[in-house]
Copies of this chain bind each other. A is one copy, B any other.
Amino acid sequence: MASFDLITGNAVIGQSGGPTAVINQSLVGVVEGLRCGLQASGHVKRVLGMRHGVRGLTKGEFHDLTDMHQDVLDRLAMTPSAGLGSTRDKPDKAYCERVLEACRKHDVRYFFYIGGNDSSDTCRIVREMAVAIGYDMRCFHLPKTVDNDLKENDHTPGFPSAARFVAMASMSDFMDNISLPGIKINVVMGRHAGFLTAASALARRYDRSLNPETDGVSTDGPQLIYVPEVAFDIERFLADVDGIYSKKGRCHIVVSEGIQDKDGVAIGAKLIKNAQTDSHGNVQLSGSGALGDQLSDLIKEKLTPAGGKPPRVRADTFGYVQRCWPDASIIDRMEARRSGRFGATLAMRGEMDGSVAIKRPGTGSALWMGTDNGAPYVSEYARVELSAIAAKTRHMPEEFLLGHNNVSKRFIEYCLPLVGELPSFERF
């Protein structure tokens, strides 16, 4: 226990951005952490949930979590999507002033916000404003994103569960593809980071890291994986598909919704009719099948043999179900819950602010160093500066990529412990 003085007042907790299967675990973790910490010590009087994040906070819309029964908390933790409601609002200075004003009005002394790098930035700005006017309010950020793109984190709550869905959907869909052969494209979430798309490689059952270019054509799908970190070239893509389809009579492909051309322009953003832009300036990529359909159509046009029949081509976009599927990864459930509790612990030990980061011990950095020494998977929690996370994006490191259309064995070893046990299939 640090020697800081603890302040007495209320606590608020909010959820922000795209929901996940375990964002309520983080919420419940904070509530539980406060209960056995600052609430037990009398420093926290009421624990107030913001309805739809800072948007509800500024309107005084709360859901009181102070006396919530443990049974309700446990059910809430197992419920996907943001139980308090979420928001896409990106608070600017004026907005953050209204946030601070609302906090003062409700005697809020502890501010917890669960979200991605923008939510960390909101925490940072609000904390700085509070300091500037001498109002003692401690601000903590809890990590959440299926994109897995937060700096300083080995991985982020939400990602393992979405990766589990993508792996299971890819496994199953590959069995469908060998059952009724053709060319199949699956589009996976991920605006700037390819981690979630890369998780499709866990679907491979013989050797998950076979590279079609150097090891011959993998019999296992997906055979081609395209992430935003590698510039996407249409001609090279068509050649890749042709190369596998002409040998195997089928081809199983996964592309990230955020794949970009060499100038960094998202291919998908140009395809959605009347695409919508959120307050963060992000052009809509999800909630449309346009990218998959366009690639599908291109293949039909370009890979039809002269005078012959076009190949059977189908495209699916996994959609929102990948971030809210209720069968969450066990590791993800535990880690999201514990990261919430750790956030409450930070406040209890007198920290003024900070973001909770998940580390894999023995790595010395946010970057994974391998578990292939036979050591069991372990994770731990650390406080990092809000500014180290705020408004920054982490990408797939080079060591996770293999060529322009595959992922490395290191990525497989990084990702596999996170998703939990996968089903076992029989294949002739």
Q: Is the Cβ of B76 less than 8 Å from the Cβ of A426?
A: yes
In Å, the complex CA distance between A327 and B176 comes to 15
Q: Chain B's nearest CB lies how many Å from the CB of A161?
A: 11
| Interface residue? A168 (CB, 8 A) | yes
What 1/0 flags go to A323-361 for Cβ under 8 Å of B?
A: 111110000000000000000000000000000000000
A312 contacts which chain B residues (CB < 8 A)?
A: 276
> Among B18, B88, B173, B428, which residue has its beta carbon within 8 angstroms of that of A324?
B173
In Å, the complex CA distance between A21 and B15 comes to 36
| Interface residue? A403 (CB, 8 A) | no
Q: Chain B's nearest CB lies how many Å from the CB of A87?
A: 8
In Å, the complex CA distance between A421 and B35 comes to 33
Q: Given A301-B274, A316-B317: A326 and B172 within 8 A (CB)?
A: yes
Q: Chain B's nearest CB lies how many Å from the CB of A223?
A: 17
In Å, the complex CA distance between A289 and B288 comes to 7
What 1/0 flags go to A304-316 for Cβ under 8 Å of B?
A: 0000001011111
Q: Which residue of chain B is the closest to A17 with respect to CB atoms?
A: B180
A323 contacts which chain B residues (CB < 8 A)?
A: 176
Q: Is the Cβ of A325 less than 8 Å from the Cβ of B274?
A: no
What 1/0 flags go to A168-203 for Cβ under 8 Å of B?
A: 110111011011100010000000000000000000
In Å, the complex CA distance between A297 and B289 comes to 12
| Interface residue? A79 (CB, 8 A) | yes
Q: Chain B's nearest CB lies how many Å from the CB of A358?
A: 23
Q: Which residue of chain B is the closest to A49 with respect to CB atoms?
A: B428
Q: Is the Cβ of B317 less than 8 Å from the Cβ of A317?
A: yes
> Among B72, B86, B273, B286, which residue has its beta carbon within 8 angstroms of that of A293?
B273
Q: Is the Cβ of A19 less than 8 Å from the Cβ of B176?
A: yes
Q: Given A83-B426, A83-B428, A321-B173: A293 and B288 within 8 A (CB)?
A: yes
| Interface residue? A105 (CB, 8 A) | no
* Residue of A83, A178, A324 ringed by the most chain B CB atoms within 10 A: A324
| Interface residue? A80 (CB, 8 A) | yes
A140 contacts which chain B residues (CB < 8 A)?
A: none
Q: Which residue of chain B is the closest to A289 with respect to CB atoms?
A: B289
A284 contacts which chain B residues (CB < 8 A)?
A: 314
| Interface residue? A407 (CB, 8 A) | no
In Å, the complex CA distance between A178 and B287 comes to 16
| Interface residue? A262 (CB, 8 A) | no
Q: Is the Cβ of A316 less than 8 Å from the Cβ of B321?
A: yes
| Interface residue? A111 (CB, 8 A) | no
Q: Chain B's nearest CB lies how many Å from the CB of A354?
A: 26
Q: Chain B's nearest CB lies how many Å from the CB of A281?
A: 15
What 1/0 flags go to A394-424 for Cβ under 8 Å of B?
A: 0000000000000000000000000000011
Q: Is the Cβ of A289 less than 8 Å from the Cβ of B290?
A: yes
Within 8 A of B (CB), among A277-305: 284, 286-290, 292-293, 296-297, 300-301
A168 contacts which chain B residues (CB < 8 A)?
A: 325-326
In Å, the complex CA distance between A173 and B324 comes to 7
Q: Is the Cβ of A276 less than 8 Å from the Cβ of B310?
A: yes
Q: Is the Cβ of B276 less than 8 Å from the Cβ of A287?
A: no
| Interface residue? A159 (CB, 8 A) | no
Q: Which residue of chain B is the closest to A287 with respect to CB atoms?
A: B314
A381 contacts which chain B residues (CB < 8 A)?
A: none
Give me 15 other A-B pairs in contact (C-beta within 8 A), A72-B426, A81-B175, A173-B321 excluded: A19-B179, A78-B426, A80-B425, A81-B172, A82-B179, A83-B426, A85-B178, A88-B180, A276-B313, A284-B314, A287-B314, A289-B317, A290-B293, A316-B320, A317-B319
Would you mind naming 15 contact pairs between A and B with Cβ atoms under 8 Å apart? A19-B180, A63-B428, A79-B175, A80-B172, A81-B178, A83-B427, A86-B179, A172-B325, A176-B324, A184-B287, A274-B301, A286-B314, A287-B314, A288-B289, A288-B296
